Structure formats: structure tokens, C-alpha cells
Structure 1
């Protein structure tokens, strides 16, 4: 079994999906960015990935809970997708 990514907001169900798109930890997520990671996940799992996943990915980069993302950051993310 692979070691947990230890990214805030990323659960056991999402980790394998992230690995499928080349995200194996913080450095990978930071390199491709939350928006690109979201796009890749959404293309693989269109019915399972919601906007909350985008917020969770971005918040993981900040090491905060996704509910703590400022509204203006959420709006910016929505514009980018």
C-alpha cells in the first residue's frame, strides 16, 4: 500500500484518483496547480468530481480546510475552470 499523501482535504477515495493523473504529493500538486488537477480529475470522473474538489485541491496547497478559502479565491478558481 502506498504511503498517504498527507494533504489536507484529500481523503482515501481521492488519493488514487490523484495518483492516476500524476499527483503523488504536494510537490506534484503544486507543480500542475489545483485548476489543472481538477480538470484532469473531472475528465476522468465527470460524475464524481464536483466544484468542492477544486476548492479542496487549492486549500491543500495552502494547508487549510477548504471552508477557510476566501470567497474571492473561490471565485477566481471558478473563473479559471
Structure 2
């Protein structure tokens, strides 16, 4: 269950930061300027994506082990 909880938390964080990114993009389209907050939001999104990649790799490895067990029986 720990992996599921972590993925749910990362999903929530990605939705929140995605909303922030959309707001920054809308402001940039309106004013033609990119605010200082955009670099923080992008850095947070990069961090979340890296964490998701890490967790999904762990899930992939776990599923591969499960498949191997079933195929070897």
C-alpha cells in the first residue's frame, strides 16, 4: 500500500503544480512576461516527474517479478 499512497500523493502534487503552471502560462500570454515564480513551479514539476519515474520503475520491477513467478510455475 505504501507505493499506492506515494503515487496518490504525487498525483495530487502534479495536479496542483499543473494548475500553477497553467496560471503562469495564462499570465505570460496576457502580459508577455514570465514571472519569477515560474522557475520554482517548473523545478517542482521536474522533481515530481523524477519521483513518479522512480516509483513507476519500482512498480514495473515488482510486476516483472510477479510475471516471472507465474511463468515459472
TM exceeding 0.5: no
TM-score, normalised with respect to structure 1: 0.25
- Kindly name which structure, 1 or 2, has the bigger radius of gyration based on alpha carbons: 2
Higher helix share: 2
